[in-house]
């Protein structure tokens, strides 16, 4: 069997949080194209359902939509149960849901800080440990977390201390789980994208005007596309990456060179 065949995900089952749009929609599509059955997990069930139908039609895989607030423990438990019941198991997941609130630290409210830490970091603890418990008890699995280059640098000119701190936390959480579970068959890795042209940026009145500045700061002179994150996630979800755990992958066009 050639390397491309070995990288396929035929027979595997997985879910993607924040899968309705943007980066999550893209990786969910790639997982299905590689042969996996997928659950699109999102707060926005209408968009998640649209995305699930679109991917199922394009790939012929089983793709379901599940409404879930990833900051709610009961929701995440029910979501993992539903994935297992409806797809017939769980081999990998992509904990990807996230938000950004831009405010100077001396003006940021504690409620804003908590919101970002809750959606970006606490949710990854919930998703990883609840999915991880299933995987530990059922032959192993692979967990991919979306961190950010903001875990490694302080972006300018926009202020985003909570976002930066939350994503740095995602990387240390990833590494901690990877070490704890290394002998037990569950791998945990993260991706750290640079600026990626999704609605998180394009639909934000605050961030959109900064695109030209970021392009100027970027060695490539451009933003990335979500499609440019797909192949690494398919690799991490599959069986050619069995010695890859506790790693963080910079996907930022040499913005940070960490
Ligand atoms: P996006 O805003 O386009 O999509 C995020 C999705 O997450 C949405 O569908 C939203 O409904 C969902 N979501 C938000 N809160 C949720 C919750 N509590 N429960 C369930 N779903 C929820 O964003 P994106 O650009 O695709 O970003 C995806 C991830 O990538 C985020 O973690 C983000 O921080 C990270 N990231 C993005 C960039 C970028 O430049 N776009 C760069 C680095 C990292």
Answer yes or no: is the C-beta of 193 below 6 A from any ligand 1 atom: yes
Nearest to 88 by CA among 186, 11, 9, 185: 11
Contact 15, 219 (CB under 8 A): no
- Give 18 Cα–ligand 1 centroid separation in angstroms: 6
b (16+ CB within 10 A) / e for 37-48:
bbbbbbbebebb
Nearest to 148 by CA among 130, 127, 162: 162
**Tens-digit pLDDT profile for the chain (258 aa)?**
999 999 999 999 999 999 999 999 999 999 999 999 999 999 999 999 999 999 999 999 999 999 999 999 999 999 999 999 999 999 999 999 999 999 999 999 999 999 999 999 999 999 999 999 999 999 999 999 999 999 999 999 999 999 999 999 999 999 999 999 999 999 999 999 999 999 989 888 888 999 999 999 999 999 999 999 999 999 999 999 999 999 999 999 999 999
Catalytic residues: 148, 163, 167
Structure tokens at 136: 């530990």
Residue with tokens 């977390």: 145
Distance of CA 16 to the CA centre of its chain: 7
Q: What is the pTM of this model?
A: 0.98
Q: Which domains does the chain have, with CATH numbers?
A: 3-250 (3.40.50.720)
Answer yes or no: is the C-beta of 144 below 6 A from any ligand 1 atom: no
Strand partners, 40: 16, 65
Residues 6+ apart with CB under 8 A from 11: 35, 36
Structure tokens at 148: 């950010």
Contact 175, 128 (CB under 8 A): no
């Amino acid at each position: 069997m050639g390397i491309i065949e070995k990288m396929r995900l035929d027979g595997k089952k997985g879910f993607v949080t924040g899968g309705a749009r943007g980066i999550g929609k893209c990786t969910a599509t790639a997982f299905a194209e590689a042969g996996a059955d997928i659950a699109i997990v999102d707060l926005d069930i209408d968009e998640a359902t649209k995305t699930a139908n679109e991917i199922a039609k394009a790939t012929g895989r089983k793709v379901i939509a599940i409404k879930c607030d990833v900051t709610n423990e009961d929701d995440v438990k029910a979501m993992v149960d539903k994935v297992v019941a409806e797809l017939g198991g769980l081999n990998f997941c992509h904990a990807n849901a996230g938000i950004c609130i831009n405010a100077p630290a001396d003006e940021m409210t504690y409620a804003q800080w908590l919101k970002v830490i809750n959606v970006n970091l606490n949710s990854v603890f919930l998703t990883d440990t609840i999915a991880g418990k299933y995987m530990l008890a059922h032959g192993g699995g692979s967990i991919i977390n979306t961190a950010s280059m903001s875990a490694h640098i302080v972006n300018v000119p926009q202020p985003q201390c909570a976002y930066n701190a939350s994503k740095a936390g995602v990387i240390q959480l990833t590494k901690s789980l990877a070490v704890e579970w290394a002998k037990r068959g569950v791998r945990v890795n993260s991706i750290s994208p640079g600026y990626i042209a999704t609605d998180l940026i394009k639909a934000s009145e605050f961030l959109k005007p900064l695109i030209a500045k970021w392009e100027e700061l970027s060695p490539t002179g451009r933003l990335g596309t979500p499609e440019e994150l797909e192949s690494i996630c398919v690799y991490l979800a599959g069986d050619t990456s069995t010695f890859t755990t506790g790693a963080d992958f910079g996907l930022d066009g040499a913005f940070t060179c960490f």
